[in-house]
Amino acid sequence: MQPLLHLENISKRYGSVRVLDGIDITVADNEFLTILGPSGSGKTTILRIIGGFEGIDGGRLMFEGRDLASVPINRRPFNTVFQDYALFHHMNVAENVGYGLKVRGRPKAEIAAKVADVLETVGLGALGARYPAQLSGGQRQRVALARAIICEPRLILLDEPLSALDVELRAQMQRFLKSLQRRLGIAFVFITHDQEEAIALSDRIIVVHRGRIEQEGAPEQLYRRPRTPFTAAFLGENNLIPGTLTSAEGAVCQVETAAGRLQATVDGPVPSPGSPVLLAVRPEHITLTANPAPGALLAEVAEIRFLGANILIELRHPALPDTLLKVRRLADGGTTGLRIGQSLAIGWAAADAALLAAS
């Protein structure tokens, strides 16, 4: 099936700075695609290219098989929620939200009704007459969101649309976006820094790093099977332990590390023995035991941080002085006995430790 949108080998430069390099992305109809990446990696630039706000220095942008090069911004069936909102400060909230309908010549009554409806949805029912300068940051963000969705475009581009919202509102908006996706069959290209959000909402995640695509896939797949150290470290927390591959038996490998010989599972081709590798273990996969079996990995509790629903325990292994091993536990009382300085045995299932080629 033809993708809705296809970015083919896009590259983009600002002066001598190359910000995008061979970007290839497809967006399927009704898909919720998230672009994830560090600050400055090129996410906004990708969005702006799709929206038509930036030209490209190489590659093509295809929409349903048509090249978008000659399609002006206002003819692209996309709408954007800008990172800086870009609200019209001389129009009130209702006028901002209704603008897309107004320029399409819809009747006033219809616009008023739809605006009221959408404002209700984003929880700003009472603020239609306010001007942007009279709103809080989060309220502005919601206006920007309302303004983009009212036209029910084929594709919505969202640049961190929920970053200024509190958890509750955020959850509510997330539900709203998902329902929108389901109800209207709209596709979303979404930028967020919130990984839980990315994982919870997305059908697919694309990890961008320094203007290149690092890895892409379904959220769980990406989380569970990162293929590069960057993805492993960037998407969710990870403990990365460097070592050398000594031997492999099927997918299960032996790795020689400073802390001793450890086991890991490789996804894909097995590196040749002797090559430098990284062993990645998620904090939630590490088990802690107070009474170590002989030969167990021993580490010392360096910090215990309460995070709300979770507790983060940081441990120091004498042979790994530069890295704190992070362990996550549910804050359900199961960790009450822990004390800083305490020595614990740590372990994980070989299946939970991923082997990555060191870059």
Partner 1 sequence: MNPMPSSARSGPPRRRGIARDLLWHGLNLGLPLLFVVLPILSFVLVSFWTLKDGQIVHVLTLANYRAFFTEGSYLQVYLSTLALSAQVTLINVVLATAIAVFIFRRTPRTRFLILMSFMLPLFMSYIIKIYSIRSILGQRGLLNEGLLALGLIDQPIEALLFSRTAIFIALAVLYLPYAILPIYLALDRIPANYLAASADLGATPLQALRDIVLPLGRPGIAAGAVFTFILTFGDFVTPQMVGGTQGFTFGRIVFSQFGLALNWPLGSALAVILLATTLLAVALAGLTLRREHVR
Partner 2 sequence: MKQKAPLIDALLGLIAMAGLIALYAPLVAVAALSFFQILRVRGVMGFAPFSLEPYVALIANGEILAALATSLIVAVVASLASLVLALMFAFYFVSARRGFGLMMQVMVFLPFLLPPIITGLSLLIAFREIEFSRGLATIIVGHIVFIVPVVYRTVLVRLQLLGGSLTEASLDLGASQAQTLIHVILPQMRPALISGVLLAFAISFDETLITLFVAGSETTLPIRLWAMMRVGFVPEINALATLILVFTAVITVAIGLLQRSPAGHAS
Residues that bind Mg ion (CB under 5 A): 44, 136-137
Q: Which two tokens stand for residue 105?
A: 């010549």
Among positions 39-68, residues that touch partner 1 (CB under 8 A) are: 51-55, 68
DSSP strand pairing (32-36 vs 204-209): parallel
Q: DSSP secondary structure string, 238-302? A: -EEEEEEEEEEETTEEEEEETTEEEEEEESSSPPPTT-EEEEEE-GGG-EEESSPPTT-EEEEEE
Among 52, 62, 147, 160, binds a copy of itself (CB under 8 A): 160
Among 16, 17, 65, 70, binds partner 1 (CB under 8 A): 70
Among 45, 79, 139, 231, binds partner 1 (CB under 8 A): 79
Q: In 3-state terms, what secondary structure has residue 86?
A: coil
The residues near 216 (Cβ < 8 Å, ≥ 6 apart) are 204, 205, 206, 207, 222
Task: Sketch the per residue contact string, 225 through 244, with ligand ATP: x for CB under 6 A, - otherwise.
Answer: --------------------
Task: Return d(Cα 51, Cα 47) in angstroms, integer.
Answer: 6
The smaller minimum CB distance to a copy of itself, of residues 168 and 322, is found at: 168
25 is a contact residue toward ligand ATP (CB under 6 A):
no
CA nearest neighbour of 174 among 185, 150, 163: 163
169 is a contact residue toward a copy of itself (CB under 8 A):
yes
Among 37, 59, 100, 219, binds partner 2 (CB under 8 A): 100
Among 2, 9, 14, 129, binds ligand ATP (CB under 6 A): 14
The footprint of partner 2 (CB under 8 A) covers 14-15, 48, 51-54, 72-75, 78-80, 82, 84, 86-90, 92, 99-100, 102-104, 131, 133-134, 147-148, 151
